[in-house]
A and B are shown apart, each in its own frame.
Chain A
């Protein structure tokens, strides 16, 4: 039972480089999310996709783009990485947007921008 799978698990980028973080879920969930986790700040929502074909900005969208490729996959792209984007990135999914549906998280991607 894979749940939510993120790749890669670790990545080091140079300032200005681009990369795409991949996320896939096998739970037939409608909604998917990208968060970043910084020390002392909990998780902050970058972008979310309420359902296939839709994406919306979260709290901290600047410097990122997303693509909801299909119901299973939701990717996060950094077009020109900056040191401020050094963080741990989590992808999550939930069956709907109802308040009582918990989110299931991937293992996280630790990204360092030098």
Chain B
């Protein structure tokens, strides 16, 4: 069965510094997709970044990058130059492969990030 683990319930980072949010996953499928979502205090879920299991390069989107280590089954989110507006809950998620339907996306428990001024 697929599983996502986020071991950091809360993280603090100083404004303008970089921070890494950890995510490990478990799957026996060779094909899968990994996502990170941000949930600010207002409650909405905001898509940040995607990494495919066959992608050779780490995904990047602006200040967000994904440190994808396939052999270790980790997909850590790196936020560079943290801003106060980055304070939020962050979820790592994995979608099952197309062969299995490709519809179920499972989420980790989340990491709450606090950015200090």
Contacts and interface: CB of A to CB of B under 8 A. Distances in A.
Contact of B102 (A35, A56, A58, A97): A97
B91 A43 contact: yes
Interface residues of A, number: 28
Contacts of B95: 97, 99
A99 B52 contact: yes
Contact of B50 (A43, A45, A92, A102): A102
A105 B44 contact: yes
A107 B98 contact: no
Nearest to A49: B103
Given A100-B52, A107-B43, A42 B105 contact: no
B98 A97 contact: yes
Nearest to B45: A105
A1 to B, nearest CB: 14
A75 B108 CA distance: 25
A76 interface: no
Size class of the B contact interface (CB-based, 8 Å): 20 to 34
Contact of A45 (B4, B45, B104): B104
Contacts of B33: 98-100
Contacts of B6: 42
Contacts of B109: 40-42
Interface of A: 31, 33, 35, 40-45, 48, 50, 56, 58-59, 88, 90, 92, 96-100, 102-105, 107-108
8 tightest A-B contacts by CB? A99-B33, A97-B102, A105-B45, A42-B107, A102-B47, A43-B107, A97-B103, A42-B109
Given A99-B98, A99-B102, A103-B47, 16 more contacts: A33-B105, A50-B103, A56-B103, A59-B106, A88-B43, A90-B45, A92-B45, A97-B102, A99-B52, A100-B33, A100-B50, A102-B47, A103-B35, A103-B105, A105-B37, A108-B44
